[in-house]
Amino acid sequence: MKRRAKYAAGLAAPAAAAAAMMVLASAAMANDALLARGSQIVEDKCSRCHAVGRAGASPVAKAPPLRDLSRRYPVETLAESLAEGIMTGHEDMPVFRFERTDVEAIITYLRSISPG
pLDDT given at position 89: 63
Fold designation for 2-113:
Cytochrome Bc1 Complex; Chain D, domain 2 (1.10.760)
pLDDT given at position 52: 96
DSSP 63-113: S--GGGHHHHS-GGGGHHHHHH----SSTTSPP----HHHHHHHHHHHHHH
pLDDT given at position 51: 97
Contacts 24+ apart (CB under 8 A), 55-61: 60/92
DSSP 17-72: HHHHHHHHHHHHHHHHHHHHHHHHHHHHHHTTTS--SSSS--SSTTS--GGGHHHH
pLDDT given at position 24: 47
| Rounded alpha-carbon distances, angstroms, from residue 111 to 7, 27, 54, 61 | 45, 16, 11, 22
What is the domain partition of the chain in residue ranges? 2-113
pLDDT given at position 18: 57
Contact 67, 115 (CB under 8 A): yes
pLDDT given at position 7: 54
pLDDT given at position 36: 96
pLDDT along the chain (116 residues), means of 10: 57 60 56 94 95 96 92 89 80 87 95 88
pLDDT given at position 111: 94
